[in-house]
Chain A
Amino acid sequence: MRRAYFKDNRIAYLLVAPQLLIIFVFFYWPTGEALFWAFTLEQPWGGGNEWVGLDNLNAVLSDGRYWNAVVVSVIFALASTALAMGMALILAIFADRQLRGYKFYRIGMIWPYAIAAPAVGLAFRFVFNPDAGIMSYLNTISADVWNPTLNGTHALIMIVVAGAWKQVAYNFIFFLAGLQSIPKSITEAGAMDGASVLRRVRDLQLPLLAPTFFFLLVINITDSFTDSFGIVDVMTQGGPARATDLLVYKIYTDGFKGLDYSGAAAQSIILMSLVILLTVFQFRYIERRVHYTG
């Protein structure tokens, strides 16, 4: 605990004011307004908002298209997270052996983090394009073996791959950092006991990596709910036939294309609660992670 403080609290207030002002205007106010909109309905010819209680939420929850978005989002979250984390974990474990070329491999795994979601989306859209890209080879066998513009499953696979690709770097960085924070003495003790490299991976490194794993699991799922907008908008725009209509994308289309602010706000509130829940859950694991690293 700190004991030495500066005395002049007026300066302190002055220094903290800019950030508080900005987050008040751009964070707390909008969040509050979302709550307000979620429980009211705007009058068609002005005249303020009418209190409608849970009607907006009920309307959202009884909408089949909303549940479709929920299902699509969950599939997307689980599939892209599993893919990204699985690949990152394998690569990190082998990179951690620090053989020759380690630095080169490391940067080779990290750079995708720099690429903007729409750029990733556009590049993958080309790769997966049924008429021009690499996958168009499949269509020479027989027409429409692969066609994400018409087939919902194909479209979903496409955005899962793009979403996972974008996340590999982030996971890799954290897994590698987690592996490198495991004390060398543990590995060496394992080796002295005759455990082979792979045995040490299974019985020492993986269990010690558990906190990082849970931390990343939550971050990846949260990110897939929020960060996926760019990919969907550039690759599929939610189509075909809403097969890739993720929650965050539906909020955008309902709010800005459909101009249904109350409906979009109600959906935002649900998504916010979900993200907050996941984050609260995550902080418990962050604490565990801190315990591990000392």
Chain B
Amino acid sequence: MIERTPILNVATHVIMFSGLLLLLVPVWFAFVASTHTMQAVNAIPPEFLPGDQFFTNIEAAWTRADFATKFVNSMIVAVGVVVGKVAIAAITAFSIVFFNYRLRQLAFWMVFITLMLPLEVRIVPTFAVAANALSPFQVLMNLFGITALVEAVSGVRVELNWNLLNSYTGLILPLVATATGTFLYRQFFLTIPDELVEAAKMDGAGPIRFLRDTLIPLSKTNMAALATIMFVFAWNQYLWPLLVITDTANFGVVVVELGRLIPDMTTTGGGIPEWHTAMAATLIVMVPPLLVVVLMQRWFVRGLINTDK
């Protein structure tokens, strides 16, 4: 604080506080709706203050949407994406930064370009690939005559098939296929002084040893930052699980389940919408990523800024 500005200070507090309230509006009314009975929620004029049905509604939403299974699924996907990303990004960046091979630059650019196109814009063909994740290799083998060759030699026609629909792998792998984390690690690895590498080599440590004993301990903050972001990103995925999972009873995730709670989307339709359970479910779904962001705020902000995600 450089000068005394009492009036401006009051104005600052007023503006900040109204900003807070404005951001709270949807969540507050979702909360209010989740604490009333269906009749009270649909009544006009609407309620502004919470009632006493909160736990009844939460319980109803929990069972109606079968959150017991879906929470576990969402958790598996989120953790899978986090672990996959943190691990794969680390070794890729390590390879690109600490080795000097001919295809290094090419590998870097191949990874870098994936930053440009989010899953949503290439959704149709990506979905087709998920139906058979090995189809690219099959096509290539057919194209180069390998399939025909193998068939001629052994009499067996090679049919590669790996269906990822309705599986955790199908939910996780395509979400790992972007460059977000690789970049974060690369920027950090570039700041590691050459002397450290020389010292490790002189002590007889190979690359794997160096990665495990020196780089990974040094990258802990980066890992935490990446993990928080990827957790929120994976938990909040909607379009991809919506397409890949048709067997929602076993593989459904919570966020997709939300969309099904209010059956009739657009105009008129049968029955009164059950806003009280839908809003209760909304609140439940919000909790895990919210906890991650609030509790790991420092890493989260750092990761967000450094990955430009």
Q: Which residues of A contact B (CB under 8 A)?
A: 2-6, 8-9, 11-13, 15-16, 18-20, 22-31, 33-34, 37, 87, 90-91, 94-95, 97-99, 101, 105, 107-120, 122-127, 129, 131-134, 136-137, 139-140, 149-150, 162, 165, 168, 170, 173-174, 177, 187-188, 191, 196-198, 219, 222, 225-227, 229-230, 233-234, 236-237, 239-240, 248, 251-252, 255-256, 261, 264-265, 268, 271-272, 275-276, 279, 286
Contacts and interface: CB of A to CB of B under 8 A. Distances in A.
Nearest to A170: B304
Interface stretch (B63-71, B87-95, B143-151): B87-95
7 contacts: A6-B98, A6-B210, A12-B95, A22-B173, A101-B13, A137-B44, A230-B255
Contact of B111 (A23, A26, A286): A23
Contacts of A115: 27, 236, 286, 289-290
A22 B177 contact: yes
A168 B24 CA distance: 12
B107 A118 contact: no
A29 B139 CA distance: 11
B101 A19 contact: no
Contact of B289 (A109, A116, A125): A116
Contacts of A127: 25-26, 29
Contacts of B265: 234, 236-237, 239
Nearest to B98: A6
Contacts of A133: 29, 46
Which residue, B95, B115, B179, B308, has most C-beta atoms of chain A within 10 A? Answer: B95
B128 A30 contact: yes
Interface of A is mostly: helix
A139 B45 CA distance: 10
Interface in B84-133: 88-89, 91-92, 94-101, 103-104, 107, 110-111, 114-118, 120-129, 133
Contacts of B249: none
Contact of B20 (A2, A109, A114, A173): A109
A18 B107 CA distance: 12
Given A30-B125, A239-B266, A276 B116 contact: yes
B243 interface: yes
B299 interface: no
Contacts of A33: 125, 128-129
A3 B114 contact: no
Given A23-B110, A134-B29, A16 B95 contact: yes
Contact of B16 (A28, A91, A120, A173): A91
Given A15-B94, A20-B110, A23-B111, A119 B258 contact: yes
B216 interface: no
Contacts of A248: 120-121
B125 A37 contact: yes
Contact of B26 (A31, A165, A230, A251): A165
A110 B23 CA distance: 10
Contact of B123 (A13, A105, A191, A255): A255
Interface residues of B, number: 111
Interface of B: 1-3, 5, 8-9, 12-13, 15-16, 19-20, 22-23, 25-27, 29-30, 33, 41-42, 44-46, 88-89, 91-92, 94-101, 103-104, 107, 110-111, 114-118, 120-129, 133, 136, 173-174, 176-179, 182, 190, 194-195, 197-198, 201, 206-208, 210, 232, 235-236, 238-239, 242-243, 255-256, 258-259, 261-262, 265-268, 273, 275, 278-279, 282, 285-286, 289-290, 292-294, 297, 300-301, 304-305, 308
A8 to B, nearest CB: 6
A281 B173 CA distance: 29
Contacts of B285: 116, 119
Indicate the member of B13, B25, B124, B293 with the most A CB atoms within 10 Å: B124
A87 B206 CA distance: 52
Nearest to B208: A11
Contacts of B20: 105, 108-109
A91 B41 CA distance: 33
Contacts of A24: 136
A226 B44 CA distance: 36
B202 to A, nearest CB: 10
A192 to B, nearest CB: 9
Contacts of A272: 117, 121-122
Contacts of B125: 29-31, 33-34, 37, 265, 268
Nearest to B9: A99
The 8 A-B pairs at the shortest CB distance, nearest first, are namely A12-B99, A30-B125, A116-B236, A26-B177, A15-B95, A4-B197, A123-B26, A114-B293
A9 B99 contact: yes
Question: Which residue of B94, B125, B190 has the most chain A CB atoms within 10 A of its CB atom?
Answer: B125
